[in-house]
């Protein structure tokens, strides 16, 4: 009996240690960023394509105010309320003192400079597909934006979700680099895929989630319940969205639908970003959306 107990204890210790190792925050290999020179123009494109300001600008800011990444917007979810932190260039309150490598850790692995896991309200499961060139260029561009001295506010998250280590387990399930839409894509479709699957994080709203809050990748971009509880976020696959590629590109530029109604709600904020991209990039997104497969079990139309 005693022997059995000690075996059980041994197993528990090994399992615990394995768990601790598996749930350790991961870091980017510094060699990955070696010799990459930042390009500010590229960094600006990444900034708008990735929509950083939509979450990190102060609540209710408009126009140029959106370049001040003071944080403070609140995001209510089933797991608690997340409050966007200050990621302005302020070295104390913001992330002005971060190295490009520290930003890479945050974007690629959701790991903070103190070795903590970030909550996936920060869409690193998308950004994990970013190229090192884009990370380095974004880092340089963020450094050119104004500093804001507002302190970041702690998230309002209750037990058990306040145990950050458990996010390591969540990441094991959901943080996997790689493309959802695979196969034979031409150069334009591949650019669109990068804009959607690595930067734009469209899927965060337009793809349904499972019980643990992870994206159901087999239902990619087929639409999802609106977290506000009212209505649905529309699907973007061809059975839901039958607009032409030119229609989609125009919508992402000016916000005009094919009926010349204009985008409202959250999508109006997204278009403030996509309107800053090039026509080529907007057409690339449209070309990509046309090749996203319609899952066999989603024959519905909106």
Contact set with other proteins (CB under 8 A)? 62, 230-231, 244, 246-247, 249-250, 253-256, 259-265, 268-269, 271-272, 275, 279
Residue 250 C-beta: closest distance to other proteins, Å: 5
Q: Report in angstroms how near the CB of residue 279 gets to other proteins at its nearest.
A: 8
CB of 165 or CB of 232, closer to other proteins: 232
* Nearest CB to other proteins, comparing residues 29 and 62: 62
Closer Cβ to other proteins, 128 or 254, answer by number: 254
Q: Which is nearer to other proteins, 27 or 240 (CB)?
A: 240
In the complex with other proteins, the residue whose CB is nearer, 237 or 273, is: 273
Give the Cα separation of 122 and 113 in Å (integer).
Answer: 15
CB of 243 to other proteins, least distance (A): 10
Least Å distance between CB 261 and other proteins?
7
Q: How far is the CB of 175 from other proteins (least distance, A)?
A: 32
Distance of closest approach, residue 187 Cβ to other proteins, in angstroms: 21
CB nearer to other proteins: give 25 or 51. 51
């Amino acid at each position: 009996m005693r022997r059995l107990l000690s075996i059980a204890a041994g197993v528990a210790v090994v399992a615990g240690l394995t768990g601790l190792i598996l749930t350790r925050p991961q870091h980017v290999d510094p060699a990955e960023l070696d010799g990459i020179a930042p390009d500010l123009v590229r960094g600006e494109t990444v900034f708008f394509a990735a929509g950083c300001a939509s979450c990190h600008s102060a609540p209710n800011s408009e126009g140029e105010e959106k370049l001040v990444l003071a944080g403070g917007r609140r995001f209510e979810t089933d797991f608690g309320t997340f409050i966007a932190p200050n990621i302005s260039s302020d070295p104390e309150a913001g992330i002005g003192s971060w190295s490009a490598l520290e930003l890479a850790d945050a974007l690629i692995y959701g790991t903070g400079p103190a070795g903590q896991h970030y909550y996936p309200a920060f869409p690193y499961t998308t950004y994990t597909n970013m190229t090192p060139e884009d990370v380095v260029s974004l880092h340089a561009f963020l450094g050119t934006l104004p500093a804001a001295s507002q302190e970041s506010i702690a998230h309002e998250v209750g037990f058990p979700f306040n145990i950050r280590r458990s996010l390591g387990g969540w990441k094991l399930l959901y943080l996997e680099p790689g493309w959802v839409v695979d196969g034979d894509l031409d150069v334009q479709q591949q650019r669109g895929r990068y804009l959607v699957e690595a930067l734009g994080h469209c899927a965060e709203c337009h793809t349904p989630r499972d019980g643990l809050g992870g994206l159901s990748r087999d239902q990619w971009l087929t639409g999802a319940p609106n977290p506000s509880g009212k209505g649905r976020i529309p699907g973007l696959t061809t059975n839901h969205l039958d607009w032409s590629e030119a229609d989609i590109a125009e919508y992402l530029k000016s916000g005009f639908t094919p009926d010349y109604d204009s985008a409202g709600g959250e999508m109006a904020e997204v278009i403030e970003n996509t309107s800053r991209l090039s026509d080529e990039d907007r057409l690339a997104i449209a070309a990509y959306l046309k090749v996203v497969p319609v899952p066999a079990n989603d024959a519905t139309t909106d």
